[in-house]
């Protein structure tokens, strides 16, 4: 589990600068762009973009933190300017998308053998996979393996 957490931090929180405890049982790691909130067991519960104030609640933390990091295997993205990395556990795949550019970006994610389950955006009003990712924002798409689907 710690290896997966480290992988998430490498991709989502470069140059982590500070650690503090704003609430009992909660720890925050931050840099000048992102704040990651962890629960008392070290599980990611929220990401906040300091520039936009957008918040992403990690309702899919089980896949992100306990799944096997597969980097860019098992899926394809339509936009090379988006950083995309995946985690797999059981019959679920989480694809984390990050926009490191200065402009909103869209990316279509294709996952052979999987269907979309849910999409988590930093803007809680958004749902579904078809929204732009704002500069320095993160989105996570959760996929379920199709019944009888095989990955090659």
CATH of the domain at 94: 2.60.40.1180
Mean pLDDT value of segment 46-58: 71
Q: What is the mean pLDDT of the chain?
A: 77
**Is 50 exceeded by the pLDDT of residue 20?**
no
Number of domains in the chain: 2
Q: Which residue has the higher pLDDT, 90 or 45?
A: 90
Q: Which of 9-18, 64-73, 110-119 has the lowest mean pLDDT?
A: 9-18
Q: In whole angstroms, give the CA distance from residue 21 to residue 71.
A: 31
Q: In whole angstroms, give the CA distance from residue 86 to residue 45.
A: 18
**Is 60 exceeded by the pLDDT of residue 107?**
yes
The closest of 65, 48, 66 to 124, measured between CA atoms, is: 48
The predicted pLDDT at position 58 comes to 63
Instruction: Give the structural domain span for 100.
Output: 68-145
pTM beyond cutoff 0.85: no
Mean pLDDT value of segment 79-99: 93
Mean pLDDT value of segment 18-30: 65
**62 inside domain:** no
Q: Do 86 and 130 fall within a single domain?
A: yes
Q: In whole angstroms, give the CA distance from residue 149 to residue 144.
A: 10
**102 inside domain:** yes
**Is 80 exceeded by the pLDDT of residue 147?**
no
Q: Do 115 and 91 fall within a single domain?
A: yes
The predicted pLDDT at position 77 comes to 94
Q: In whole angstroms, give the CA distance from residue 22 to residue 37.
A: 10
């Amino acid at each position: 589990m710690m290896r997966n957490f480290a992988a998430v931090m490498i991709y989502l929180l470069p140059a982590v600068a500070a650690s503090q405890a704003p609430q009992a049982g909660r720890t925050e790691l931050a840099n000048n762009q992102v704040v990651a909130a962890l629960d008392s067991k070290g599980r990611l519960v929220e990401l906040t973009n300091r520039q936009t104030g957008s918040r992403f609640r990690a309702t899919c933390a089980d896949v992100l933190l306990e799944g096997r990091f597969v980097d860019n295997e098992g899926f394809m993205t339509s936009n090379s300017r988006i950083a995309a990395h995946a985690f797999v556990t059981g019959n679920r795949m989480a694809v984390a998308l990050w926009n490191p550019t200065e402009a909103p970006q869209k990316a279509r994610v294709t996952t052979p053998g999987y269907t979309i389950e849910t999409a988590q955006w930093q803007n809680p009003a958004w749902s579904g996979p078809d929204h732009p990712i704002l500069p320095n924002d993160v989105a996570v798409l959760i996929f379920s393996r199709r019944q009888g689907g095989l990955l090659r």
